[in-house]
Structure 1
Amino acid sequence: MDDIGTSTYLQWLRNEFEESPFWKHMGITFDRFEPGDVIIKMPVKKELGNSNGVMHGGALTSILDSIIGATIRSTREVRVATISLTTQFIAPVKEGTLYARATLINDGKRIQYVESKAFNERDETIGTALGTFAILK
């Protein structure tokens, strides 16, 4: 794909993610969006808290899953589906903004392995995930 085609696709993809009902509900937006180099962010808000007063593990898992899909799709025009996601909860978060970044492990045609990391404004790791994703045409 040429630079114009890539630029048009990335603009469309950015809009597709940021306008999705789930991303809007969670408050997820892009902080950086380049092919294969994507960072998303999500505010730590009261509505995402659990009974312990910290962000619910499901909210953390959501940003770790979301960054993987966005990163894969930033590198090629495909749809993806999560097959499995193993999440490690490392530190609680009560306030601020959560960021996430993913690293593609392989260039699979049908299956993609990816690692993701969520971190706070001080670059402290809050959680990580190892994902297996199906590549859909």
Structure 2
Amino acid sequence: MKGVRDKVYSAWKAGKPPSPAIGTLGIRVRSIEESRAVLEMDVDEHLHNLSGTMHGGVMVDIADAAMGIAVASTLKPDEDMTTIELKMSFMRPHIKGRLVAEGTIAKRGRRIAFTEAVLTNMKKEVVAKCSGTWLIMSA
């Protein structure tokens, strides 16, 4: 059985989403490095809230995925992980076009990882920032 790290890398190399949820939202993995992942998605009206801007929950989804893949890139074959806390700060609305999420690990211990994600629009303006805490456990 493949570990989480291997599953993420295998899906990325095959051009597939690492999880069904990511695929449903149209999130794509652009790159993965040790402790870092860059994801992207194209936003239009089907991802809007009632105010006509990108739904905040979808922004949380791409941030969570970017940070999660960054953590997954550091896992041993017998390790798994799960999100235990997220904090999202929305800085400007995003209406349409490409949204990029860069997830990084600020600090990783044996059982806890602290992560950050920055979401930017096509003009490279920061749309939102997220911080997260992850539990690393035996698979």
The interval holding the TM-score normalised by the smaller chain is: 0.7 to 0.9
Alignment correspondent of 2:101: 100
Segment drifting more, 31-40 vs 127-136: 31-40
Segment drifting more, 123-132 vs 31-40: 31-40
TM-score (norm 2): 0.84
Percent identity at matched positions?
A: 28
Per-residue deviation, residues 45-92 of structure 1 (Å, max 9, x unmatched): 222100110000001111111101001111223322111100000010
1:11 offset after TM fit, Å?
Answer: 3.3
Separation in 1, partners of 2:15, 2:45 = 26
More helix by share: 1
Mapping of residues 120-135 of structure 1, within 5 Å: 120-135=121-136
SS in 1 for 2:107: coil
More strand by share: 2
Q: Confirm or deny that 1:112 pairs with 2:110.
A: no
Separation in 2, partners of 1:105, 1:12 = 25
Per-residue deviation, residues 97-117 of structure 1 (Å, max 9, x unmatched): 110112211121111111111
Alignment correspondent of 2:62: 63
Native 8 Å contact 1:103 1:116 kept in 2: yes
5+ residue gaps in structure 2? none
Separation in 1, partners of 2:55, 2:75 = 32
5+ residue gaps in structure 1? 1-7
Native 8 Å contact 2:36 2:105 kept in 1: no
Q: Number of residues paired by the alignment?
A: 130
Instruction: Report the aligned-residue RMSD.
Output: 2.1
1:13 offset after TM fit, Å?
Answer: 5.1
- The change in CA–CA distance for 1:59 and 1:80 in structure 2 (over 3 A counts) is same
Native 8 Å contact 1:17 1:23 kept in 2: no
Separation in 2, partners of 1:114, 1:36 = 9
- The change in CA–CA distance for 1:42 and 1:22 in structure 2 (over 3 A counts) is same
Separation in 2, partners of 1:132, 1:102 = 12
TM-score (norm 1): 0.85
